[in-house]
Amino acid sequence: MSVQVIIQKEVDVDGQIRWVGLASLKKDEDQTRILVFPHQGGFKGVALLCKHAGAPLTYSTISDDLIICPLHGFQFDLNGEYGIGFDVERHGDDFIIP
């Protein structure tokens, strides 16, 4: 079952557009705020708030494999077994979590 992301705002981070929105990440779960960003030719999403102390990841540094929180610099894998990222698809102006 795919999930529609409800985009709330668009942010320019050093020339890269990112989006903050709402989506239910698990079945029957309340919507949570997420960050969507371009990644390796597609789009990726993460929960908006950092797992360490809850800072927004909007202005984080993002590489191919890592997202680095701007508040204390904790690094989180985007991919793999412990990765916090998930794939997002863009269809026109809509974003979908497949």
Cβ at position 98, least distance to ligand FES in Å? 27
**Smallest distance from ligand FES to CB 57, Å:** 8
What sign results for the dihedral spanned by CA atoms 92, 21, 5, 68? positive
Draw the binding track, 49-68, toward ligand FES (x: CB under 6 A; -: no contact).
-x-xxxx-------------
Residue 6 to residue 78: CA distance in whole angstroms: 22
* Smallest distance from ligand FES to CB 53, Å: 4
Does residue number 77 form part of the binding site for ligand FES (CB under 6 A)? no
Binding site for ligand FES (CB under 6 A): 50, 52-55, 69, 71-72, 74
